Structure 1
């Protein structure tokens, strides 16, 4: 007879059922029992739990099982440790921020992917295989050979086999954009972009004293004839493009337009910064512009939109060795390196396949959320069915700042078009991000509130967006 079967019911805490060999890992049975007891009031906030050794003896299990159970319960916000005084039932968390955030472009949490376990397993592998001292010291920047090879693997769907030495690893796409501006332009230079463009570009250009000029676009992206005219008129230092699921308009530039813009860049001897964070989330996207003008285009792919922003890792493809060195010098002026630990974790995930699994889960979840947005926003939905955001053009009786202000008063954050404007004019629209609200039910509630607002005229709404 096993030791478990000799335990008498009266020996157990009243909230804990008898453990069974056929009901899964014992530590999870204990954590589940804790959760059920907190939910039904058998355990109340502030109540002290038995010491781990005592509970292990009562249940006839080893101490490690109880430690894992308590750790799991803490992860679920059920318990809190108070040092030598022991472990107590935690008070319920108060939701201090009731805002439904539809303003931040982050990947949605995918169903069926245990991100906590993925993080623990990935870090465990990194710490097992890497020199821990190297993970905690300064690096010259650009990434280790392993990190660059992981970058080549990550970019293989876009480019096929790549020379990993042409890739650089940096702390996020924003840092990459800033370093490219510093490396390849000088104060007063012009940077060309579409009328609606990534706000981080505008911030960096203004900070570094560069002039941002909008080039007209249509439903396929920047107009080739207008780009050529602007190049001859302004002699720009760079052209910035976000051609796949563009932020904020969600337009994916067709292949023909990409070829035309690449050809103009070659004729006019101007560099294109191709910021392409959403390519891997798109449904059969065209080849990157960089495939049509490899020496002319500097390509950025961040993990923030396909995996998680917390990694702060982006890969930058720069073919010219002199430009790579200039980029690194510029990057070191404000960000010496990507974090070695997160870079090693990203490399581990890419090479062991975890990153691909997580990204596929995010793709599926994003598509599901787009279907939800299409159903709720009905005829106003203009997304492509993939990516992280929807660009919603407004009825004439609303302007984007009014609607953003009104939405905020209803507890919803959206981003008005003027946040993306590179020139004086902008489309009357808002961007709705679909990934930043974890719970689908809360996302549905936010989208329904936006739909209700759109269906009626504003009532004296005005002022600044808060």
Structure 2
């Protein structure tokens, strides 16, 4: 009998707790105190049952409980080993490693938070509250649209106030554009991996999605041209900067090629640049390459906070902007004047830029953690973004990997959620933002890395080769 099992035997003798539960707790305690370390081999079930004077079934239940808690890993032919010292993490509501919703990190900056509070107080102290509580024309006031023009000009230099609408969130803009550009049964081209909300919008409207395969430069232009020639799509939707989910950015040359095809076939482009503000350097917006066809969409949910439901869309022409305003008015009535007023103030007084810089800085710190823990596993990410794309080892399927992590209270999203061609790759998306702290993010990434390194878990899919 070794010293570890001697210690366990003494503990088991002095308690009335179920032995199998206590066994799992003893393993956890010994990991925390350093008596057991990662990769340490534990006795076999029969050996431990004999050492502890327990029956085989009780020890098997104890190991099963320890395995459920992510403490050990059993491999046929090699034995049972300590899996990781990383504890399972509580999810939102509990609250910690919720890595499914693609939300920006929340900077731990007291001065910035004080600035947000102060500016919000000033905004409402100076406002005519009756005016903010009335119906307004769709698209925001002239003041709101001037702030939007200021925010968009670095990306769309010719954005004019008469072509800009202030809207209640990017998702609502996309719904209106899909309904306006395509009728039920008609087709819109999208990336083969794309924002899941687009799939939901298309399903709701009865619009068909045609997947364009991706390479390192973005959607393949030849595939887009073939679709234009043979399928007559009504629009091209793309998320060209920090694509959700892969974090890839469409190259300048590929943007030019896609714009060229769209111009030759007169196909409108929906440029969803939700993440475009995060990188300090990006290729020219497609809206600058095909200005007469492109609806440029941006907002604050990915560079400020998901609760700031304010989006800006610059349409190709004044007439198209007016038509879009009519389509959106039918579904959303108007963007909240209160939200618009607050957003406009934060853009004008520099608070929005300060928040963007803080989100970018925190994202960079978390991406450094992700690179440290998962970089050797082929992680795809941008250093200034807050989501990452993780290819999986052959021992896991994406759904089972995500499901197993969920039992450890870490949430990630399997690739099927993003697939538009029915052939999702073996990968998951990880969000590094949201309400979790940097320390919780680090713990979750450690747990993900350890899970990836030990694929032969009872819930994993075993594959030959």
**Offset of 1:124 from its aligned partner?**
2.0
**Offset of 1:183 from its aligned partner?**
1.5
- Give the RMSD, CA atoms, in angstroms: 1.7
Q: Within 5 Å, give how 1:153-168 maps onto structure 2.
A: 153-160=150-157, 162-168=159-165
Q: Within 5 Å, give how 1:163-242 maps onto structure 2.
A: 163-242=160-239
Q: Within 5 Å, give how 1:256-275 maps onto structure 2.
A: 256-275=253-272
**Offset of 1:95 from its aligned partner?**
8.3
Q: Within 5 Å, give how 1:250-399 maps onto structure 2.
A: 250-380=247-377, 381-399=379-397
The CA distance in 2 between the partners of 1:99 and 1:440, in whole Å, is 10
1:182-205, Cα deviation, whole Å (9 max, x unpaired):
122211110110110001111001
Q: What's 1:428 paired with?
A: 426
Q: What's 1:247 paired with?
A: 244
Would you say the 8 A contact 1:125–1:348 is kept in 2? no
The CA distance in 2 between the partners of 1:417 and 1:241, in whole Å, is 18
**Offset of 1:96 from its aligned partner?**
4.7
305-314 or 152-161: which moved more? 152-161
**Offset of 1:210 from its aligned partner?**
0.4
The CA distance in 2 between the partners of 1:269 and 1:161, in whole Å, is 21
**Offset of 1:319 from its aligned partner?**
2.4
Q: What's 2:444 paired with?
A: 446
TM-score by length of 2: 0.77
Poorly superposed stretches of 4+, deviation over 4 Å: none
The CA distance in 1 between the partners of 2:398 and 2:152, in whole Å, is 36
**Offset of 1:110 from its aligned partner?**
2.0
Q: Secondary structure at the match of 1:457?
A: coil
The CA distance in 2 between the partners of 1:107 and 1:115, in whole Å, is 15
1:149 aligns with 2:149: no
**Offset of 1:340 from its aligned partner?**
0.8
Q: Within 5 Å, give how 1:102-141 maps onto structure 2.
A: 102-112=99-109, 114-141=111-138
TM-score by length of 1: 0.77
- For structure 2, list consecutive stretches of 5 or more residues without a partner in the other structure: 1-90
Q: What's 2:402 paired with?
A: 404
Q: Secondary structure at the match of 2:360?
A: helix
